[in-house]
Amino acid sequence: MRGIRNNNPLNIRHSADRWQGAREEQTDKAFVQFKTMAYGYRAAWKTLQTYYERFCHQSKPFTVRNIISRWAPPSENDTEAYIRQVLLLSGIGGKENLLPPVNASGYGRLSLLLAAMTCMECGIPYNKVDTEAICQGYRLAFPENNADLNEWLCEEDEYSRW
C-alpha cells in the first residue's frame, strides 16, 4: 500500500527527474511522493511515453512484455509472473503492439495497462483502482490531447471492462 500512501500507484523511484505535482517534502527514501493520485498517474503516463520514445522501435515493439521488462526488471521482480498477471487483468494481448501514450486513441488500452500495473505495484484488487485518477493523470500529462480524449471518451464506454 506504499504506492497508495505516496500517491504513486506505479512506485516510480526517485531520480534526477523533477516531477510536476511532487510533494515539497519527500519522506520516502526510495519512491517519489505526489500531492495527488492524479499527479502520480501523470508521472506514469510520462514514463510510458519516454519508454516509447527511447526504447521501443521496429525491432522492439511497444508491448506489455517490453514495457514491464523495463518497469519491473528481473533484478527486482518476478518479471514473468508480473507480465502474466497484467495480461490477465488487463485483457491486452501479449504480442499486441500498443499505441504511444501521446496518441489519445491509445488511451483505452494503456489505461487498462496502468490499472493492472497498479494492482501489481500496490496489491489492490482491479475494481479498487482509481480510474478517474488515471484519466486525470492523462489530462495532466498531455493537455494538448484533452479535446481528442473527450471525443474518444464519448465514443467508448471507457470503464466497461472494469
Helix H or strand E encompassing 65: helix 64-71
Tell me which residue of 5, 56, 54, 19 sits closest to 140, measured CA to CA.
19
Indicate if the pLDDT at residue 162 is higher than 80: no
Each residue's pLDDT tens digit, 107-118: 999 999 999 999
Query: How far is 95 from 144, CA to CA, in rounded Å?
Result: 29
Q: For 14-24, what is the mean pLDDT?
A: 95
Q: Is residue 63 part of a domain?
A: yes
- Residue at 20 is within a domain: yes
Q: What separation in angstroms does the CA of 154 have from each of 15, 85, 147, 148, 149?
A: 37, 29, 11, 10, 9
Q: Which domain holds residue 54?
A: 2-155
Count of domains observed in the chain: 1
Task: Kindly report, residue by residue over 126-157, the tens digit of the pLDDT.
Answer: 999 999 999 999 999 999 988 888 877 766 55
pLDDT at 158 over 50: no
Would residue 160 count as lying in a domain? no
